A and B are shown apart, each in its own frame.
Chain A
Amino acid sequence: MSETKPLPVVDFLKIPEDGNPYLEGFRCKKCASIYLGERNVCSKCFARDEMEVIKLTETGTLHSYAIVFRSFPGIDVPYISAIVDLDGGGTIKGNLINIDPDPDKIEFNMPVKITYGDALGRKDTEGNSYLSYFFEPA
C-alpha cells in the first residue's frame, strides 16, 4: 500500500498541506458569475481579467437529480446523480449519498452539505488513490 496522500478527483478540489479539503471557484468581479476551473474571461458578461479565486461554500440545496440504474460496466448502481445549488453561489454536480435512491425519499430544495472521501476505491493506472467530494443530506 502506498502511503502517499490521495490526489484530487478534479482540479477544482483542493487539498492543502495542512487543513481541510475544499472546492475552489472563480468568480467574476463584474457580474458575480461563478465558474469551476481557472479562466480569464467571463462568458456571461465578457469581462476580461476580472476573475477572483474563491472557496465555494459547503452547503447548498438540491436543484434536480436523477436516479441512475444503468451505467457503464463496472459502475455500481443505483446511485443518485444530483445537481446542487451552493448557498454562496455556483452549481455543482455529484453523487448524493446517505439517502435511499427513492424518489419518495428525495425532496427538491432539500438542504445538503459537501463531504469528502475516497473515490469509491478507484485508482489510476499508477495505483494512486483519489479524494472525491459527495453530497449528503444536511
Chain B
Amino acid sequence: MSDVYVMGVDMIKFGRFPDRSVPNIGAEAALMALDDAGLGIQDMQALYCGNLGQANAMVGQRILQEIGQTGMPVVNVANACATGATAFREAWMSIKAGMYDVVLAVGVEQMGKGLLGGAGGGEGIPKEGLLGSGTMPCVFAEAGMEHTKEYGTTFEQFAKISVKNHHHSTMNPKAMYQIETPLDEVMNAEMISYPNTKLMCSVNVDGSAAAVLVSEKKAKELGMARAVKVRASALASDPYTDRDLVMPDVNACTRLAAKDAYEQAGIGPEDVNLVELHDCFATAEMLHYENLGLCKDGEAGKMIDEGHVELGGKVPVNVSGGLLSKGHPLGATGIANIYEVCTHLRGEAGNRQVEGAKIGMTHVIGLGTACGIHILEKTN
C-alpha cells in the first residue's frame, strides 16, 4: 500500500458569515488547498466532503458547482464533531486502497450561536432541566467532574487550560479570537455549567478547511519539499462501558483510537512534538492528556500546572488556540487541526511555531460517539 502525503492544506480565518452559503464557505478553503498544492480541481480524482448541518444536502457537489464540475466521485460525510477527520480519513483510505493518486478532502460548517445539544424534542414534554441536562457544556462538565472525583482536579486547573489556549490564539491570525484571558477573567466569566464558564466553552463559528492528499508516487512527482506524511489514521466508535446509558464516554473511545494510531505509526506518545486535540470544553482537554497518553492517568492537572502543554513546553497542546479560541465549526474542525499540525511540520507557523517539530497528532471526538486521530510527520 502506498504511503499517503498531504500535498496542500489550508483553512479560512474562522468567523461568522451569515450571508454566505455552506458550499460557498467550503469552496474558499478548497481553492486555497488546491493553490497550496499547486494543483487545480481538474487534477482531483475524488472529493470527500464533511459537513454536519446540511448532511442531507449534497454539500460536496454544490462546492464543485462553485469551483469546477469535473464529474469526479463525491462522498458526503457526517460523523458529529469527527466529521472533518472522517472525510480526511476516507480520502486517505481511497489512496491506501490504490484507487486514486490525488484526492481532495473538505470540511465546512455554518453554525448558529448558542447552546448545542439537549434541546428536547421527542414525545411528551421537554426533558431538559427535568432529567438533568443534555446541553454540551453540562455533558462535558459531568465528564470533567469524573476526573475531579478520581484525582481531585480543581476548577482552577480546568480554567488554566482556557488561559493557555486563548494565549496561544493571540499568535494565530486565523483564529476567531486573539484575546488574552487571564485566570481571574476565565474563572469569573458567566458560569454555564459548573465547572465550565463561558470562556471555557468552544466558540460556535463558521469555517472551512481543506486538504489535497496524494500517493507517494504523485508526491515524488510533485516534489516532497512541503509534503507531510500521514503516519496513522485511526477511527473508533464507543466501546461498551457501564455508564453508556446516560454518559457519553469520550475516554474509552479516544483511548481505543489512540492505541490504534500509535501502533500504525510505530511510535509512542513521547515521540509526539505537538498535539491539536478536541478542547470543545476546558474540562475535555484535561481528560485527553491522559487518554492520548501524553501523561500517566492522574497527572493531567500537573501537565497544565507545570506548563508542559504550553508553547515551549514538553508537548505543546492546541497552539492554534484550540476550539476554545480558534473556534469550532463542527465539520471543518477535523481538517483545520490537520492544517495546524502540517503548518508546524513545514516550519511555517510564524511566532507560534513549535521549534523542531517532526511529528504531530490531531484528535477530534464527536458524541454518539466517533473519535478520529491522525499522526503526521515532516518529510524533509
Contacts and interface: CB of A to CB of B under 8 A. Distances in A.
B40 interface: no
Given A91-B247, A92-B246, A108-B149, A83 B130 contact: no
20 contacts: A9-B124, A9-B127, A64-B142, A66-B137, A66-B141, A66-B145, A66-B196, A67-B193, A70-B190, A70-B191, A72-B118, A79-B129, A81-B132, A81-B133, A81-B138, A83-B246, A94-B131, A103-B195, A122-B125, A130-B125
Interface string A62-100: 011111111110011101011101000011111100000
Given A66-B133, A83-B246, A93-B247, A72 B142 contact: no
A44 interface: yes
A127 B108 CA distance: 42
B135 interface: yes
B247 A83 contact: yes
A124 interface: yes
Given A66-B138, A103-B194, A93 B115 contact: no
A59 interface: no
Interface of A: 7, 9-10, 33-36, 43-44, 63-72, 75-77, 79, 81-83, 85, 90-95, 103, 108-109, 119-120, 122-124, 130, 132-133
A72 to B, nearest CB: 6
Contacts of B139: 66
B192 interface: yes
Interface string B139-157: 1011101101100000100
- Identify whether the interface residues of A are mostly helix, strand, loop, or mixed: strand
Contact of B137 (A70, A108, A109): A70
Interface in B97-130: 115, 118-120, 124-130
Contacts of A35: 245
B270 interface: no
Contacts of B20: none
Contacts of B192: 69-70
Contacts of B240: 33, 43-44
B19 interface: no
Contacts of B137: 66, 70
Contacts of B120: 72
Contacts of B149: 63-64, 108-109
Interface residues of B, number: 40
A71 B127 contact: no
A76 B130 CA distance: 10
Contact of B130 (A9, A34, A69): A9
Given A72-B129, A103-B194, A109-B149, 16 more contacts: A9-B130, A43-B244, A66-B133, A66-B141, A66-B195, A67-B141, A72-B115, A72-B119, A83-B243, A85-B243, A95-B131, A103-B155, A108-B148, A120-B130, A124-B125, A133-B131
A80 B130 CA distance: 10
B126 to A, nearest CB: 7
B63 to A, nearest CB: 33
Contacts of A36: 245
A-B residue pairs, 9 tightest by C-beta: A66-B141, A81-B132, A93-B246, A75-B129, A67-B194, A108-B149, A122-B125, A81-B133, A44-B240
A114 B51 CA distance: 41
Contacts of A9: 124-125, 127, 130-131
A82 B129 contact: no
Contact of B193 (A33, A66, A72, A83): A66
A69 B277 CA distance: 27
B8 to A, nearest CB: 41
A22 B44 CA distance: 60
Contacts of A44: 240
A69 B131 contact: no
A108 B302 CA distance: 22
Contacts of B191: 67, 69-70
Interface in B166-215: 190-196
B146 A71 contact: no
A36 B118 CA distance: 18
B124 A75 contact: no
Nearest to B155: A103
B242 interface: yes
A91 B243 contact: yes
A85 B247 CA distance: 11
